[in-house]
Amino acid sequence: MSVADSMIVYSKSVKSRYTKYGVSSSKIGICPNIQREDTFRNSLSNYLSIANRLIAERSLNGKRIVLFVGRLVKIKGVDRLLKAFIEVSKSVPDSLLVIVGDGPERLTLEKLALRSGIKEQVIFEGRLEGADLLVWYLLGDLFVLPSHHEPYGAVVNEALMAGMPVLCSNRAGASDLICEGKNGYIFDPYDTSRLARLIIEQLRNKSLVQEKIKLRQSLMPISFNESVQGFVQAVNYAFTTPN
C-alpha cells in the first residue's frame, strides 16, 4: 500500500486494520457501500399492496418474522442462526424465520431445520430479486446477519432503509451502521445463546410487529451523500498531498 496516494475502504474496522500496518489515517477515506435511500424507499412503497396481499396468501398474519438474505454458504453462519432459532421458536411460538437465498448449503440447512423440529417455523424462499425480494424487507420484523466473515454486508443497508432493526455480526463491516439500542445490536456470531436472547428480546417488543404493512421510518444512520464524503476525502488527499 506504500505506493498508493490514498485509499478507500468500506468500514472503520478495515481502516483500523490498515492503520495498524502503518498506513496514515488521513490517507484512508471510509465510504460505506450504500445506495441512495430515496430510490430504494420509493421502490419499497410501490410494493406495499403486494406485501399486504402476501400476508393473507401465506398465512403470515400475527407472525413475527426474522429475515435473513444472502448466499447459503458456510461463511454466512446460517447454521448458527438456525440453532439460535430453536430457542426462539420455544419462547416466541408465533415467530417465523424466513431465509432468502440459495447456495450449496441449502439442503444441509433444510435437514438441520427438520432435525431440530423447527421445520414448520422456517421458510426457505430461495433466491429472489426485484419485487419478490423487496416485499420481504417490508414484511420482516427483524433482520439478522450472522456471518463468520463479511467484508461489508450490503443487505444490512437495505434492512435499515426499510426501517427494520438489525442484529449484525461483529465480523461484518456493516456493523459500523449499528447504533446499539437504537437500530439494532452487534453480536459474536459464534455465541448462539446470546443471539437467541437478542432475537427473543426484539420479537417480544410489541411495537416491532406491524398490524398492517406500511413504509416504516428509515433506521439508516447516514445518508448516501454523507457516505460519499469518504470518497471525496481520499481523492482530495491523493491530489493535494505531495508524494
pTM attached to this predicted model: 0.86
61 and 145 assigned to the same domain: yes
Other beta carbons within 10 Å of 72? 23
Q: Is the pLDDT of residue 170 over 60?
A: yes
Most confident of 65-74, 143-152, 167-176: 65-74
Residue 56 maps to a domain = yes
Domain range for 65: 37-208
Fill in the DSSP letter of residue 164.
Answer: -
182 and 236 assigned to the same domain: no
As a whole number of angstroms, the distance between CA 125 and CA 100 comes to: 5
25 and 42 assigned to the same domain: no
Residue 13 maps to a domain = yes
Fill in the DSSP letter of residue 198.
Answer: H
What does the pLDDT read at residue 24?
73
Mean pLDDT of the chain: 87
Q: Is the pLDDT of residue 178 over 60?
A: yes
What does the pLDDT read at residue 171?
95
Residue 215 maps to a domain = no
Number of domains in the chain: 2
Q: What is the CATH number of the domain that holds 154?
A: 3.40.50.2000
Q: What are the Cα distances from residue 107, in Å, to 5, 79, 110, 124? A: 47, 11, 5, 10
13 and 67 assigned to the same domain: no
